[in-house]
Amino acid sequence: MDNGSNTLDFCNLKVVSALGRGAKGLVFLAKINEGQNEKQWLALKVVSKAFVRMRNSSHCKRVSFEQQILRRFNHPLLPQLRGVLETEELLGFAIDYCHGGNLHSLRRKQSEKTFPVDAIRFYAVELVLVLDYLHSLGVVYRDLKPENILIQETGHIMLVDFDLSKKLNPKSPQLLSGISSPSSDSALLVDRRKRLLPGCYCCHSGIMPLDSDSQLGTNSPARSESDSVEKSNSFVGTEDYVAPEIITGEGHNFGVDWWSLGVVLYEMLYGMTPFKGVNRKETFQRILMKQPDLSGENTPLRDLIKKLLEKHPDRRIEVHEIKCHDFFKGVNWNSVLQIARPPYIPQNDVEDKAGFSRKDVESFVRKIFFKNDNKEEKPKEVEKKKINGANQNKVYNKNQNTVWVDKLTDNPTQNEDFLMF
């Protein structure tokens, strides 16, 4: 399928199950029913038109922005827009489905709920590359967290969910270089996403795979980010991962993504986020006032985390310093994607089930976002509940911002985690 030019329709689209929920939309596992793409699994993100209309105008803009930005991507660690869908009730778009779930779920499957250092280095390298590429486009991501870092069937990551991202206009002409396309290496790798990448940059990590029933599914110029780009004053992000300057409202730029990377690396190393409090107020207070507890031997990884979690954005480590840090010693940034061997390769089997109709999907979306099917009432905030007859012991986990769904009367999911993203 061409990038986003394909119009999807429930007549040729087979929707198999629900994968996750966000603030404004739902993600379904789907596939094309005909033609050469019949075996290609897709993640179909849909939003309710009625729900978006009830929110302020910024929500409409974000829905449009995410589609627009997906059309621009040409990078092996970012999704490609595979098609768009529209009905009287829904707007949607499809990207490639990632068989390996997300980094949060993969970490929780590890025996110590943490990753070995070699595995952390592998994922850190790829996160630095993809954030650097986004920043070269003038895009600040603003929602980096393990739930948004998916694992492709090759074992490489894919960063998803761009509805909180923002375009910042570079003030320095040098920042515009590299915007039109990624490096030739990255462009080449886009066509190789379906292949396992052999290589010599190995991670002998002992990564434990997800359970079989879990279907979660360019070097830019050196720059002083704080001096060279405009700032945003929006308050966005997931509370454990937001940078201090977002909390204070003093304006933020690309540096917030590097802060969030520090939180993600800390979580991969210690199995928890560094500033978690008993409630949002305490979490924010710790982000502003508390230094991260980097207990253990003084290592390059801990030093990198410390520099990423610098509270003052003007003193926080930036991309060129990150790439030169001792933790990445020996990494060839121009070719690492071609020679890196992922620490975990997921199984690619997806159970093909009977599909659901447009009516089924629309009914499911209404039940998730509205109190009942008949009225467009103001949707509730995410609350502690079980959905449509779920009778096992999975409930809304407030600490993890996750909704667990076991059974749905109209749209039974696979036995899998139903994620908030």
> Given 96, 143, 161, 406, which residue is catalytic?
143
In single-letter form, the type of residue at position 127 comes to L
Identify whether 143 is a catalytic site residue: yes
Neighbours of 176 (CB within 10 A): 15
Q: Contact, 83 vs 1, CB < 8 A?
A: yes
Q: Residue 397 forms beta bridges with which residues?
A: 402
H and E: helices and strands count for the chain? 13, 11
* C-alpha span between 192 and 153 (Å, rounded): 12
Residues tagged active-site: 143
